[in-house]
Structure 1
Amino acid sequence: MTTISQTAGYTDLQTALKVRARNPALDRLRCFLTLVVLLHHSVIAYTYFGHTDPKSWIGFDAIILSTDSFFMATFFFLSGLFIWPSLAHKEPWIFLRDRLLRLGLPLAIAALTIIPIAYYAIALRRAPHISFADFWWTTVTVGPWPSGPVWFISVLLAFDLAASTLHRLSPKLVDPINRLSLRGYERPAVFFVFMLIVTAIVYIPARVYFGASRWFEFGPLSLQSSRVLLYPVYFFIGAGVGAANFDRGLLSADGRLAKSNWAWIIAAMIPYCLLWVLIYMKREILGNPVWLPDWYEIIYGLLFAAFSAAILFAILAYFLRFKRLGSSMLDPMQAAAYGMFLVHDPIVLWLQYWLFDVDMPAIAKALIVFVLTVLLSWGATAALLKIPGATRVL
């Protein structure tokens, strides 16, 4: 199950780089995606796909199909935006220290505490008498050891370390992408076509070979097999966009992308609707098989890549309009966004556990879970930030 990180803009966007002023549009986009992550996990139990609760609603399947198809890639893109300037202005050992502090430490803590606490709720459904101590010990010694959302942190750490090595070998490695970004100031469609072609090339063969649901797993570390090349492509495309001339390229608040939001929404809705056509064919015509024919996976992969790129452009276009506004309802959440991502999983799963036997519509259950998850994870993060030194990590 694809979840979120979704730290993907968290660590690099939250670092106040001396070489570049903060970008309100991207800060607010990061907060928005945090809420999307929480929504994704709040409703997935009530879908046809997840359906771990007796109640379900088809509308939640529509949400999950959309979020699963773009939000992780978007996080990687956002995280890549600030990586190249950071590498250019930090000594390698300082960069490594910062990454281990911001990513490695939360990963270790979450894997040993937050994730077992979260998945204990699921274990109790299967074995009501198991103690937490027994569950924790079995998880970390025998397995399976679920990664939950923190898989993203481990992957992002690997990408950051790879970027550090590549930057030392060739600081100009992503310059061709940056030059294309400058063209995107006037012609964002050119950059979109580039992005679609590259992502389709790396995603479709992997989807055909591995299928959609297989994951590479090693202890608490995991990565969806079909997206093993898709995510680094988004990350390094983001690195190229942010490498130089950020305010004069694709993401300029004065560029054409910021003025064409509706066009990108339409461009995203076409492949999204066609994805539903394929899903209907899989369930009603093909009999919902475990392994789908190659032609199906190729078409699905192309539509997935098109939707993922188009919705990224639509969201960027929308939030770039915030560049010059004085305030946003998302602003109060900015300092807590990373922490909310880290702590929300046990809150979601335990709320769903307690509501499992409650006889109420799926919409009501999901609404309760989502609202309480936002409030409780925000409050928990605010409390954690009061710990001395916590702001250096969260």
Structure 2
Amino acid sequence: MISEGPWPSGSAWFLGVLLGFDMLAALVCVLAPQAIGALGRWAGTLLHYPLTGFLIFLVIANLAYLPPHLGFGDGFWFMPGHFPLPLQASRVLLYPTFFVAGIAIGAAGLRAGPFAADGALVRRWWIWFGLSYSCYGAILLLAYAHHNWIADFDSPPLWWRTAYGMAVASFCAAMAFAVPTFFQRWAKAPLALMDRVQPSAYGIYLLHFLPLLWLQYLVYDPAWPAAVKFAIVLIGTLSVSWLAAALLRRVPLVARII
């Protein structure tokens, strides 16, 4: 994988994308420090009217996703050489769009801004989840149509690709509202296991791909029920990656990172 490629990075591939965005954001902070504050004020003002703010974000997300999606398809990745720094071509504009939106929300503030725990957005978290799963239902319906009703599976018609792209972009936009409002709403709920996992969560994210990959190979051949294989992979992956993250966090320099 290293000498000939491709060199898969697993689910951590997005860290390379985030690092590039972070470097650009740091440069903006140095060259135009007032820009971040202005972005936060604009987001805060816009989200005083949640439905209007969401509809604007929905349109932006679709504009960012549809042209690359229709141009490249979903299976093409930009892969520099053999290095584990891939970027999905269809989302090349969607990722920076959501990153800038995240900066704007962060600058507006999670304590007193539009995503404050006692704000209108958070109180109606279930609406955003309803929208999210409505869009996800549309994705499933279109996938079903692709498998059962479209004659040329490898070359679906333009209407299907457009509808599928809009469903995906709309799902992403709705989840961008659903996830932070959900966690703000339930942040103080007494969930003992999740509270214990939380300090090692980033380390688990970084490390889980290796045990996940090899445990899947381990259970591939035995004729066990799917539920048993699922339980082995889930419990084993979480246990191994959690233990490894907890041990690594005992190293002071590593603990500052993960």
Alignment TM-score, normalising by the size of structure 2? 0.91
How big is the shift at 1:288?
5.8
SS of corresponding position for 1:393: coil
Q: What's the offset of the Cα at 1:205?
A: 0.4
Structure 2 counterpart of 1:231: 95
Question: For residues 278 and 325 of structure 1, do their structure 2 counterparts lie closer, same or farther at Cα, with a shift above 3 Å needed?
Answer: closer
In structure 1, what is the Cα distance between the partners aligned to 2:54 and 2:121? Answer: 10
What residue is the counterpart of 1:365 in the other structure? 229
Shift in alpha-carbon separation, 1:162–1:291, aligned structure 2, 3 A: farther
**1:215–1:351 distance in 2 versus 1, CA, 3 Å:** same
CA distance in 1, matches of 2:173, 2:232: 32
Correspondence 1:283 to 2:151? no
Return the alpha-carbon distance in structure 2 between the equivalents of residues 387 and 278 of structure 1: 48
Asked whether the equivalents of residues 208 and 297 of structure 1 are also in contact (C-alpha less than 8 Å), the reply is: yes
Find the partner of 2:23 among 161, 180, 195: 161
Structure 1 residue runs of 5 or longer lacking an equivalent are 1-138
Partner of 2:116: 252
Equivalent residue letter for 1:187: Y
Match of 2:186 in 1: 322
Looking at structure 2, the residues matched to 247 and 388 of structure 1 have their Cα atoms a distance apart, in angstroms, of 29
Separation of aligned partners in 2, 1:373 and 1:287: 40
CA distance 1:318–1:388, change in 2 (3 Å): closer
**Is 2:240 the counterpart of 1:376?**
yes
Task: Give the superposition deviation at 1:367.
Answer: 2.1
Instruction: Report the residue type matching 1:249 in the other structure.
Output: G
Q: Secondary structure at the match of 2:208?
A: helix
Q: CA deviation at 1:309?
A: 1.7
CA distance change for structure 1 residues 193 and 174 in 2, over 3 Å: closer, same or farther?
farther
Shift of 1:229: 1.1
**CA offsets 1:238-293 (integer angstroms, 9 cap, x no match):** 10111144423221111111111222222122221111121111111114622333
**Cα 1:323/1:342, change in 2 over 3 Å:** closer
C-alpha contact (below 8 Å) 1:268/1:311 kept by paired residues: yes
- TM-score, normalised relative to structure 1: 0.61
Could you tell me how far apart the structure 1 residues matched to 2:32 and 2:25 are?
10
Deviation at 1:370, TM superposition (A): 0.9
> Which residue identity is paired with 1:299?
A
| Whole-Å separation in 2 of the counterparts to 1:350 and 1:246 | 39
Structure 2 CA distance, aligned partners of 1:369 and 1:332? Answer: 20
Residues 177-188 of structure 1: pairs in structure 2 closer than 5 A:
177-183=39-45, 186-188=48-50
Q: Once the two structures are superposed, what CA deviation does each residue of 1:162-204 show, in whole Å capped at 9, x if it has no partner?
A: 1112222322334454234323664322221122111110100
Secondary structure of the structure 1 residue equivalent to 2:78: strand
Aligned partners of 2:152, 2:197: CA distance in 1, in Å? 41
Please report the RMSD computed on the Cα atoms of aligned residues, expressed in angstroms.
2.0
Contact 1:185 1:256 in 2 (8 A): no
2:8 partner SS: coil
Matching residue within 295, 304, 321 for 2:159: 295
2:178 maps to a residue whose letter is: A
The change in CA–CA distance for 1:331 and 1:183 in structure 2 (over 3 A counts) is same
Question: 1:90-239 to 2 correspondence within 5 Å?
Answer: 139-175=1-37, 177-183=39-45, 186-218=48-80, 219-239=83-103
Distance 1:171 1:328, change over 3 A: farther
Q: Percent identity?
A: 35
Distance 2:6 2:88 in 1: 16
Kept in 2: contact 1:253–1:320 (CA 8 A): yes
Matches of 1:146 and 1:377, distance apart in 2: 19
Q: Distance in 2 between matches of 1:388 and 1:266?
A: 43
Residues 330-369 of structure 1: matches in 2 within 5 Å?
A: 330-369=194-233
Using a 3 Å threshold, how does the CA distance of structure 1 residues 156 and 259 change in structure 2: closer, same or farther? same
- The CA distance in 2 between the partners of 1:363 and 1:325, in whole Å, is 29
CA distance in 2, matches of 1:385, 1:283: 46
Q: Contact conserved, 1:182 with 1:249, CA < 8 A, in 2?
A: yes
